[in-house]
A and B are shown apart, each in its own frame.
Chain A
Amino acid sequence: MIDFAGLETRPAQTWGAARLVPLVRAEPIRDLRLHAKIYGDEPSLVALPDKTAYTAYIPHAFVASWTDDGTPAAAYGTQLGQPLRHVGVRVRRRLARREVKNRLRFLPLHLALEGFLALHFGGPPVVWEEWSRRAIAQGLSPRAEEAYSGTQVRGLDDALRVFEIYPGQCGLLLYVGDTLASAFVVPHPEDYLALHPTLVRDLYGELIHHYALFYPARDFPAVIDETTVSSLADLRGQAVRQEREWAAFHDSVMAAGLLGSPERVQQVYRLGRFVLARFLPSFERQRENHIGETITDEAGRLAYLKTFRLSEAQCRRGYLLARLAEHDWNVQDTAAALGTDAAALGLRLDRAGFGYLLRQDVLDAYRRAKR
């Protein structure tokens, strides 16, 4: 579960298909600060500790600085007092890497995405006869997913440009076509000011790209019942009630899919009293599935959050892999658990892009059986 304690929801601002919901922190977190490091436009290759490689377009990295004794930390860029110039390094080691003591560089969103891609990456652990030689030897490699950059999502750049940042704002929930595209939370308002423009360089799923083309978002205009008002104090009470109702509605309805999303949480790095972790959803179909990464303090309070909304096809792939892994990659057992037969499951795997995992003759037999 994601805990939004300490973050207050403020009225949303809409532009085109985007609805932007600001999150304001009453008390900023001072001993952890974030800072962006801009990389060039070239694709990046990240060498992972398990000797595999992760290749993606990574426009920027975040640098987290923290202190051990709770005294205020300064963002990395502030310490240097330098503009964001960086020598383009193509090959990076690890997605989260300590730079010096008390400073960690990590690649936002890609940390979570790599977690998704590496899901059951090793392939079948038992050599059932249905799986191809390649699946046994190499697993799912190479495993690829596609996403759109924020600049390709229509209207997103304008929506972010005209958004009026609140004083004390530490986060933003971005809805496109009223479906949650991304959640972003940082520890300190100044970090937010610096990192707000990086949202347009982030990754967004196919679903978000399509929704941005079709669905304009409408404001929820305030409505005051004039029969309940007999003085200015009443009017003020009604105005305050509007804001409270919106916050309650948003947290319980609009963001509900996100808050309950994390199912498998994996701790990545420990930063003083904070923990950097990534999470995967349950891959349940017909509901929102978000992958993401968090930094939480010892009390579980959210300091940093970034999520990515999986598209339907991606959910389906995650779902199939998770179900297969549950049954040790036994096709019959999995099919039975899904309430279908082996041939249907085989074709589903094929449609999801995993046809290469099955032996060709087995797959052909499935196709014949279903014709």
Chain B
Amino acid sequence: MARDETFGKVMEIIGRYAKNKDAIEGATEDTNILEDLKVNSARLVDVILDFEDEFDIEVDDEDADAVNTVGDAVTLIEAKLA
């Protein structure tokens, strides 16, 4: 999958839980999921589970802990799919 395609899918999933809808529009790989997009930390579990369903991958807790930015999520998913 092309990286920008993964980015689009990742943003679609994160967008479901982001409270800052304005920040979704201009989000880049450097955008912080919790701080910039205002995703509730308890919702990160939902985000990870949605990644697993969407991309048919398994994300363990250690991998999930390393995800801070949108780019971190894209990199993790690309690595799982490779």
A binds B: no
| Residues in chain A within 8 A of chain B (CB atoms) | none
| Residues in chain B within 8 A of chain A (CB atoms) | none
